[in-house]
């Protein structure tokens, strides 16, 4: 009997301890699950009460311009309205970089890039005009005479029968479309004189030439003040067939324009001559 009595508690203890542990462990696990459920319900409730997230603003079509092409784009947007954002760049070179980097859907420029892999859509015709101080009385220059003055091979206008003043060459800043076109179309790879006065922008160029005796410069035909008389080259005026410095206004894009941009560019190609910005003509 003693052996039975003494053994019974021990046997019960052996049975109770592990089962009690399992019960305790199960209780703790259940409590943990309840806590997790409560927290999940609280989180869901807070999320339901929170305001809906504001979607990011839609990014519309961005058109890049330079000081040379901005007035043209403004005139075109009046003739063919479109909900585009116009982004200004200080030079043709910066505009090309923005197009290549995807900063704008297209850039409008007065100078095309024949060797560029970028897509170029022709929009209108223009020309680079040669301007001179009024006192010179210049009406025309040959291409060779123009190059002689600009390169510094000839420094006195008297050699060309244009008065006794010294030639003062005005030149656009590095990276401008007008400078690029002037060098490509009229200088034939020759370097300008080191004495050339570099000016930032068409307005500065026009004002300098008008105020400086003996000065010679250039600007896009669309940039000249109304009533200006540019110098003919080899007897041909800007805009005439055979003129030495014609140019095409283009839209430059990283890839083929699509959607609203494509439709707008196509509409510009159909703009009537009378509605063209001053200094531009329709495509041939």
Q: What is the 3-state secondary structure (H, E, C) of the chain?
A: CHHHHHHHHHHHHHHHHHHHHHHHHHHHHHHHHHHHHHHHHHHHHHHHHCCCCCCCCCCCCEEEECCCCHHHHHHHHHHCCCCCEEEECCCHHHHHHHHHHCCCCEEEECCCCCCCCCEEEEEEEEEEEEEECHHHCCCEECHHHHHHHHHCCCCEHHHHCCCCCECEEEEECCCCHHHHHHHHHHHCCCCCCCCCEEECCHHHHHHHHHHCCCEEEEEEHHHCCCCCCCEEECCECCCCCCCCCEEEEEEEECCCCCHHHHHHHHHHHCCCHHHCCCCCECCC
Residue 60 is predicted with a pLDDT of 85
pTM over 0.85: no
With 90 as the cut, is the pLDDT of residue 8 above it? no
- Same domain, yes or no: 88 and 226: no
Average pLDDT over residues 269-277: 92
- Same domain, yes or no: 113 and 132: no
- Same domain, yes or no: 84 and 68: yes
Whether 98 is covered by a domain: the verdict is: yes
Distance of alpha carbon 41 from alpha carbon 22, whole angstroms: 29
Whether 281 is covered by a domain: the verdict is: no
Residue 238 is predicted with a pLDDT of 92
- Same domain, yes or no: 82 and 113: yes
Tokens of 238: 């800007």
Domain range holding 78? 62-125+247-275
Segment 180-222, tens digit of pLDDT: 999 999 999 899 999 999 999 999 999 999 999 999 999 999 9
Segment 63-100, tens digit of pLDDT: 999 999 999 999 999 999 999 999 999 999 999 999 99
Residue 32 is predicted with a pLDDT of 58
pLDDT band at 37 (very low <50, low <70, confident <90, very high): low
Q: How far is the CA of 9 from the CAs of 15, 18, 102, 274, in angstroms?
A: 10, 15, 85, 114
Residue 102 is predicted with a pLDDT of 95
Domain count, the chain: 2
Residue 114 is predicted with a pLDDT of 83
**Contact present, 234 and 143 (Cβ < 8 Å):** yes
- Same domain, yes or no: 164 and 82: no
Mean pLDDT over the full length of the chain: 85
Distance of alpha carbon 219 from alpha carbon 126, whole angstroms: 11
Whether 255 is covered by a domain: the verdict is: yes
With 60 as the cut, is the pLDDT of residue 123 above it? yes
Tokens of 192: 């300008």
Whether 145 is covered by a domain: the verdict is: yes
- Same domain, yes or no: 210 and 252: no
Distance of alpha carbon 216 from alpha carbon 229, whole angstroms: 13
- Same domain, yes or no: 133 and 223: yes
**Contact present, 165 and 136 (Cβ < 8 Å):** yes
């Amino acid at each position: 009997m003693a052996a039975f009595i003494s053994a019974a508690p021990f046997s019960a203890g052996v049975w109770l301890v592990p089962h009690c542990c399992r019960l305790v462990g199960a209780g703790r696990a259940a409590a943990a699950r309840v806590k997790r459920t409560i927290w999940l319900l609280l989180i869901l409730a807070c999320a339901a009460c929170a305001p809906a997230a504001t979607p990011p603003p839609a990014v519309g079509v961005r058109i890049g311009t330079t000081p040379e092409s901005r007035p043209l784009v403004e005139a075109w947007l009046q003739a063919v309205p479109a909900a585009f954002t116009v982004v200004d760049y200080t030079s043709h070179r910066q505009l090309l970089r923005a197009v290549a980097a995807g900063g704008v859907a297209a850039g409008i420029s007065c100078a095309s890039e024949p060797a560029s892999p970028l897509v170029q859509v022709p929009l209108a015709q223009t020309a680079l005009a040669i301007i001179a101080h009024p006192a010179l009385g210049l009406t025309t220059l040959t291409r060779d005479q123009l190059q002689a003055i600009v390169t510094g091979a000839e420094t006195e206008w008297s050699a060309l029968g244009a008065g006794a003043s010294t030639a003062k060459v005005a030149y656009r800043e590095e990276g401008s479309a007008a400078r690029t076109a002037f060098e490509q179309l009229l200088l034939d790879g020759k370097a300008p004189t080191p004495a050339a006065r570099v000016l930032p922008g068409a307005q500065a160029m026009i004002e300098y030439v008008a105020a400086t005796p003996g000065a010679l410069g250039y600007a896009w035909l669309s940039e000249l003040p109304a009533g200006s008389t540019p110098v003919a080259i080899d007897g041909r005026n800007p805009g005439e067939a055979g003129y030495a410095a014609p140019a095409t206004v283009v839209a430059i894009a990283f890839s083929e324009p699509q959607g609203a941009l494509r439709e707008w560019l196509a509409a510009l190609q159909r703009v009537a001559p009378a509605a063209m910005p001053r200094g531009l003509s329709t495509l041939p």
